[in-house]
Amino acid sequence: EGACVQAYENGVIIYSPKTGAWEQYGDIRNKFVAAGSVDGSLGFPVSGIASSSYGNYQEFENGIIIANSNGIIFSYGSIYEKYLEKKDKLGQLVADINTNIGIYGASVQAFESGVIISSPKTGTWEQYGAIRQKFIEIGSVNSVLGLPFGPINCSIGFEGACVQAY
């Protein structure tokens, strides 16, 4: 598709007609290669390496790689999309996506203040706060509740009350 890469002493520049030309180096480059490079779940870079309060990061067609005090972490697909919606509630990424939680092909990714759980059967939903703590107490995805089936809803008419369906 007209894509190419040029190697340099300390990194590369990756070009695609669709996404442009972007530099890549260091730990972010190493994580990108380990995740399958452009053929992996992230796709092509859509930005250069930048800095924020969360650390250094690079955005991709389908996700992000962040290098911060928690390590070098990537997020992609529906979990990353949900994170973009809920990042004010979830905080920083703290772990890579875990695809081996053992129920309905589900995946989970940990954040500073909660998780996002995704399953082809039930969708992709955030979990945080007191609801997250209770879910862990009763056995998490292996409990009688199973996987989340909807978002946390705090607008159910009772002051301060929230609910999540399973």
- The more confidently predicted of residues 47 and 87 is 47
pLDDT at 77: 94
pTM for the model: 0.86
Question: What is the rounded average pLDDT of the residues 16-33?
Answer: 97
pLDDT at 40: 95
pLDDT at 137: 96
Query: What string of DSSP letters covers the chain?
Result: ---EEEEETTEEEEEETTTEEEEEEHHHHHHHHHTTGGGSSS-SB-S--EEETTEEEEEETTEEEEEETTEEEEEEHHHHHHHHHHHHHH-SB-S--B--S-STT-EEEEETTEEEEEETTTEEEEEEHHHHHHHHHTTGGGSTT-S--S--B--SSSTT--B---
99 — pLDDT class (breaks 50, 70, 90): confident
Question: What is the rounded average pLDDT of the residues 112-141?
Answer: 94
pLDDT at 53: 83
